[in-house]
């Protein structure tokens, strides 16, 4: 179904641009779904895999061997897997509020979200290494958050400057599952809003 939509079946080319494997991280085996993900990639779809939401190094081996276009969360990583991600350049999607709740960081930090985000298991490493990274909400409705709030938490916890946030946002657009023409349109819109002061709120973190 996804491949048919990606090819224009049902009346529009590019209706589906990618697939994302997610779900209960304690159930199932990612290897059972890799053939389907491989077919999706061969059909021109981008592939994201949610991974390492719980500790499972064998599964992480399988995920990195598959080499998806993006990684969701990637929290419980051994040193070898961290180095493989850094060397591969695969972008990582980080969801601060979601991670703070599921990892119980907020409760461990007495409710202080700035302190909690400093305890995040991988975020500081990706930032320090200038690894491709996108900040996301995971599910804005479920977690009662917005992308602006997620960015504010990351900036406060890790001293991310305005310039660095803009750089990361441009990188997120570069790795989005959109066509070249659509990417150019989004990039132009982003840069226009930067010029008009409609993105963010100034030069500070």
Active-site amino acid positions:
53
CA–CA dist 201, 70 (Å, integer): 28
204 closest CA partner among 147, 165, 148, 150 = 165
User: Does residue 169 sit in helix, strand or coil?
Assistant: helix
* Strand partners for 21: 49
CA–CA dist 4, 191 (Å, integer): 34
Are 19 and 69 contacting, i.e. CB atoms less than 8 angstroms apart? no
Q: What are the E-state strand segments in 14-97?
A: 18-21, 46-51, 70-73, 92-94
Strand order in the sheet with 133-135: 18-21, 46-51, 70-73, 92-94, 133-135
């Amino acid at each position: 179904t996804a491949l048919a939509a990606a090819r224009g079946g049902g009346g529009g080319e590019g209706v589906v641009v990618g697939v994302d494997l997610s779900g209960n991280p304690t159930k199932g085996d990612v290897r059972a779904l890799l053939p389907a993900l491989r077919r999706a990639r061969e059909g021109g779809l981008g592939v994201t895999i949610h991974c390492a939401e719980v500790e499972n190094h064998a599964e992480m081996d399988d995920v990195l061997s598959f080499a998806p276009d993006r990684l969701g969360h990637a929290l419980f990583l051994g040193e070898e897997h961290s180095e493989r991600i850094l060397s591969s350049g695969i972008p990582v999607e980080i969801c601060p509020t979601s991670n703070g709740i599921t990892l119980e960081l907020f409760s461990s930090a007495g409710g202080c979200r700035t302190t909690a985000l400093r305890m995040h298991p991988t975020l500081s490493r990706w930032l320090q290494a200038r690894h491709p990274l996108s900040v996301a909400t995971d599910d804005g409705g479920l977690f009662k958050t917005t992308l602006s709030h997620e960015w504010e938490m990351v900036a406060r916890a890790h001293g991310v400057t305005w310039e660095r946030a803009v750089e990361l946002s441009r990188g997120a657009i570069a790795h989005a599952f959109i066509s070249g023409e659509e990417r150019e349109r989004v990039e132009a819109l982003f840069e226009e809003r930067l010029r008009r002061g409609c993105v963010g709120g100034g030069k500070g973190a």
